[in-house]
Structures are given as C-alpha cells and as structure tokens.
Amino acid sequence: MLLQNTLKLPIAPDLLVPLLEDLEKIAPCLPGASIQERVDERTYRGRVTVKVGPVTVKYDGVMTVLEVDRAARRLVMRGEGRDPQGAGTASATITMTVGEDGEGGSVGSIESDVAITGRVAQFGRGLMQDVADRLLSQFATCLEQTLSQGPSPDPQGGGPAPQPAQQESSVGALGLLLGVLWQRIRRLFGG
C-alpha cells in the first residue's frame, strides 16, 4: 500500500537533509522506534513498537539508507522487520523529497510503499494512513522542540543529537483512535 505524508519543519532544507539521513540522531523522535546497532555507515538494526488497543506489535529489523542526493534534497530508505514471535512482517521503501516552505523552513514530501502481514494488516489503508499521519506529526513536533532547544553535544562529534521531549514508546490506542475519528469528522464537514 502506498502512504503519502507531508512534514513541515522550521529548519532550512540544506540542514534538514543531513539530519534526516542519520537515523541514530532522529530515531529518539519517532514514537516506538529505537536503534540497537549501527551495522555500517548506512545500515541500522533496530526495533519499532506500536500499540493499538490490546494489540502491541513489535518489529525487529534493518533500516538502510539507499540513496542520499543532497543537491536534489532526496532520501530513499528501505526498512524490513519481523515480529520476533513470528506473528507478522513489515517492509517499506520510503522516499522523501525536501523543499523550501517559503518562510525559511522545510516541507518534506514522503511517499512510503508499505507491505504488512499479520495482525496489523487487518486495519486497512485508510486507518494505516491516519496512523502514519499521527506518528509523523509526533515526530515533527519532537524534532521541532529539539531544534528549538538548540544543539546538545553529540558524544560522537557528528553535530546536534535530538533530545526528545517525554515521548511514549508506543502509540496509545484511545488517543490515536479519537484523533483519527476527529480528523475524519473534520474532513466530512469541510473543516
């Protein structure tokens, strides 16, 4: 299934692209994501945990930065994961193109080609798009808060490391579902 999102951040595109390609620095801002190991310059092993109602899904896997074109401000990443208990798999090819928002910030166009098996597959494209929108919104808020706090020292010397605000390691079902319902109601009534 193809999911499309937009990300707006108050950081210049030429500064945002290098930050986005370093998954170790941005993973703390993605709810439920963690990096366990850096395999090489562009490959990471990690875990993503998402809780929807009584269902908690964990995927252990690999994320690889396939392409970085700083001149075109384009990144392509591939992630593949498997539920450690064998209850499903997830894979995605994520393409992000970053442009200027006209106010000195960035707008990112994100296209994710996602394949999911197991318990989460039953939710369908509409709900999956809404979940992706919500997670990306939380990610953008965390990254914006991190940038507004200013750079903090990175022990590896690679620049600022995000220090996320208090983030839950999973997505709460009630808040997520209420948010999704509210968005759909607003769309129905043109709000």
What number is the average pLDDT over the span 104-128? 82
Q: Under DSSP, is residue 48 helix (H, G, I), strand (E, B) or coil?
A: strand
The yes-or-no verdict on residue 189 having pLDDT over 90 is no
pTM beyond 0.85: no
Q: What is the CATH number of the domain that holds 114?
A: 3.30.530.20
Select the highest-mean-pLDDT range: 99-103, 139-143, 147-151.
Answer: 99-103
Please tell me the predicted confidence (pLDDT) of residue 133: 78
Please tell me the predicted confidence (pLDDT) of residue 187: 55
> Are the beta carbons of 102 and 128 closer than 8 angstroms?
no
pLDDT tens figures, 82-114 = 999 888 888 889 899 999 999 989 998 888 888
Report d(CA 51, CA 123) in Å as an integer.
Answer: 13
pLDDT tens figures, 33-62 = 889 999 998 899 999 887 655 567 888 999
Structural domain total, the chain: 1
The residue segments making up the domain with residue 29 are: 2-188
Report d(CA 83, CA 60) in Å as an integer.
Answer: 6
